[in-house]
Amino acid sequence: LRHRLSLPLGQKGGKRAPGGYRSRREWHAKARRLRVLEDRLARERADWTAGTVHVVRGGKRLARMRHHLPAARLTEDQWRARWEAARWFLQADGESGKRYGNETIRISPDGEVSLKLPVPLSNLANAPHGRYLLTGRIRFAHRGPEWADRVAVNRAVAYRIHHDVARARWYVTASWQKPASPAVPLAAAPADGVIGVDMNADHLAAWRLDVHGNPTGNPRRFAYDLTGTTQHRDAQLRHALTRLLHWARTCGVRAIAVEDLDFTAEKTREKHGGRKRFRQLIAGLPTGRLRARLTSMADAMGLTVVAVDPAYTSKWGAQHWQKPLTSTTRRTTRHDAAAVAIARRAQGYPIRRRTAPPRTHRSDGCGHRTVQAGGDAPGREGPRRRLPGPRTRSVPPDAERTRATRTPTTVRGVRSEQEWVPDPFLLTD
């Protein structure tokens, strides 16, 4: 805002910075907006310095719903029940070495739940050592065997008990922290090939590359729908990533290459001006959520995620790979070509393809033969150098000695140069 306000009206911007505002009216509105933001920033900094935290226990959305009960289709009693349930919670962090990994909320492998009561409530205990044993038993449908293995060896597990008013049930949530996975060397990650993934607004474009950087098979697309509720968007993204990871395991690839995208500073109107559709497209890309979820899911399946620089992957991929990979039976899109560029960058290869040899110099008779140059081959980024000698297998190795371009060693007119005359005795019967 400060930058655009300092420019004259109507000044054009460049690639790196936007220009000035179009009218005096817009300039005045942005100046007022800047003052409002500066006041909000000063208040937040003051609260942060004083240690003041503004938290609505139960949720700000539920608290504001109290003033709009007809629109929410709730009565006052129903809202009060939800409000009290949202403010009730019982949570206890785990501790390794304690029995079943938690001293306050103890859950045995067979589902028996007991609570450690405080001293003022010790008279309500129905079990030894001041504990209260619940009659119901719990069962974890998601990652139940993994939870049972942890509590069997007394490893730390945190629990949270909450009440669901709509279903009239109590739920227990278990959580634990996994150890950090060891970092895999970049040279060892693509040892069995790599899968490049290009993220788009409605699908993931993926292509598998071999160890030499050549695309193999056909491209894959994993579609998802990011409209609707937050739960629906999370489920769609998780389903697409699950299919991607299962395909990677089927191919035997242990590395997935993605772009290290971050649109935190690219979503503002001051960055892109009046390009509303473009700003909506950028804001709809779940880059942070996809990166975090892909990292955790790939680690659980034993796969490695390689984040590469996203600069010019779509442009160079479409320039160098879209046309060569398009055939009569396969239509290669710009996103598929970008996936190839991302994977080659993760492998350390240049995105630009090696220049193909002349049509008559290909060993398989005017067929397609584009060989990937090695990492130590000089001049692999440019055209092939002109080397003397034969270029095809049909010419013998010593053909260079008998070519017409060689300087003749025979001197005309000397005695050693004689005309051959056939012997008449050899032609008689």
Residue 412 lies in a domain: no
* 165, 238: one domain: no
Domain range spanning residue 40? 2-50
Environment class of 355 (CB within 10 Å of its CB; exposed 0-12, middle 13-18, buried 19+) = middle
In this prediction the pTM is 0.59
* 113, 223: one domain: no
* 159, 231: one domain: no
* 100, 28: one domain: no
- Final residue of a structural domain among 175, 207, 227: 175
Low-confidence ranges of the chain (pLDDT < 50): 380, 399-406, 414-419, 426-428
pLDDT tens across 46-95, in order? 999 999 888 888 888 999 999 999 999 999 999 999 999 988 888 999 99
Give CB contacts under 8 A, 24+ apart, made by 277-283: 281/201
Number of domains in the chain: 3
* 31, 150: one domain: no
* 260, 140: one domain: no
Whether the Cβ atoms of residue 189 and residue 164 lie closer than 8 Å to each other: no
Residue 415 lies in a domain: no
- What pLDDT does residue 192 have? 84
- Final residue of a structural domain among 320, 347, 374: 347
* 206, 287: one domain: yes
Residue 232 lies in a domain: yes
Residue 272 lies in a domain: yes
Residue 67 lies in a domain: no
* 268, 336: one domain: yes
Residue 151 lies in a domain: yes
Assigned token pair, 166: 């709509």
- What pLDDT does residue 370 have? 54
Residue given tokens 């420019």 in the structure block: 7
Task: Measure the CA dihedral 397/399/401/406, to 10°.
Answer: -140
* 130, 256: one domain: no
Residue 275 lies in a domain: yes
Please state whether 78 falls in left (phi above 0), alpha (psi between -120 and 50) or beta: alpha
* 308, 227: one domain: yes
- What pLDDT does residue 414 have? 47
Amino acid code (one letter) for 97: G
Task: Measure the CA dihedral 416/418/420/423, to 10°.
Answer: -90
Give kind and range of the element (H or E) at residue 245.
helix 230-251
* 15, 143: one domain: no
Residues 309-336 as b or e (16 or more Cβ within 10 Å = b): ebeebbebbbbbbbeebeeeeeebbbbb
- Final residue of a structural domain among 347, 376, 393: 347
Q: What is the secondary structure of 179-233 as a DSSP string?
A: PPPPPPPTTTTTBTBEEEEEE-SSEEEEEEE-TTS-EEEEEEEEE----S-HHHH
Q: Residue 278's domain is classified under what CATH number? A: 3.30.420.10
Could you give the maximum distance between any two Cα atoms of the chain, in Å?
138
Residue 332 lies in a domain: yes
* 230, 314: one domain: yes
